[in-house]
């Protein structure tokens, strides 16, 4: 498969992953404001589980897979400063994904560890990381 096609598949998987990273904590905001055991809370549990398992997890795996494949095809990129920053931010994004999965498990068990305001703050973390990653990949300032 040509480099450009792998790059396109990488971008498609990144977009899919980002959709989930931006939407899942927004669901948590609404979930945190519902009564435990209500029909609405149970609906949020289903939505959160399906989003994480059916979209976000596969998209993250594909993002890493295609990204590593691109680095194998162009190993000189690992010596670029902008790539170091990008990889670091992608790892932070994966940590954020893990934190969101942990939050989902707590909500699934009817625990509300955070207020809706704190979920709103978490909702902004992937956006900030995405901005840095895109600037590094496109502008290559370092």
What DSSP element (H or E) covers 113?
none
Residues 26-72: tens digit of each pLDDT: 999 999 999 999 999 999 999 999 999 999 999 999 999 999 999 99
What's the alpha-carbon Rg for the chain, to the nearest Å?
17
pTM for this prediction: 0.93
Identify which of 14, 44, 21, 20 has the alpha carbon closest to the alpha carbon of residue 32. Answer: 44
Check residue 1 and give its pLDDT. Answer: 73
Check residue 8 and give its pLDDT. Answer: 97
Could you tell me how many residues make up the chain? 142
What is the total count of domains within the chain? Answer: 1
Taking the alpha carbons of 43, 47, 53, 57 in that order, is the dihedral positive or negative?
negative
Crossing angle of helices 3-32 and 39-50, rounded to 10°: 160
Within its chain, how far is the Cα of 20 from the centroid? 6
Check residue 111 and give its pLDDT. Answer: 85
Q: What is the mean pLDDT of residues 104-131?
A: 92
Q: How far apart are CA 1 and CA 131, in angstroms?
A: 29
pLDDT at 113 over 80: no
Check residue 112 and give its pLDDT. Answer: 72
Residues 70-109: tens digit of each pLDDT: 999 999 999 999 999 999 999 999 999 999 999 999 999 9
CA torsion, ordered 81, 136, 132, 100, to nearest 10 deg: -80
What residues make up the domain containing 109? 3-139
């Amino acid at each position: 498969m040509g480099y450009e096609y792998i790059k396109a598949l990488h971008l498609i998987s990144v977009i899919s992953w980002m959709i989930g990273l931006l939407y899942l904590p927004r669901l948590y905001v609404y979930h945190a404001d519902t009564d435990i055991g209500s029909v609405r809370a149970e609906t949020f549990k289903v939505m959160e589980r399906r989003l994480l398992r059916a979209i976000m997890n596969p998209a993250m795996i594909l993002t890493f897979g295609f990204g590593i494949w691109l680095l194998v095809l162009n190993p000189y990129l690992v010596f670029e400063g902008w790539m170091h920053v990008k990889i670091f931010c992608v790892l932070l994004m994966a940590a954020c994904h893990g934190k969101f999965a942990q939050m989902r498990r707590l909500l699934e068990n009817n625990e509300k560890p955070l207020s809706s305001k704190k979920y709103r703050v978490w909702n902004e973390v992937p956006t900030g990381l995405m901005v840095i990653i895109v600037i590094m990949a496109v502008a290559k300032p370092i």
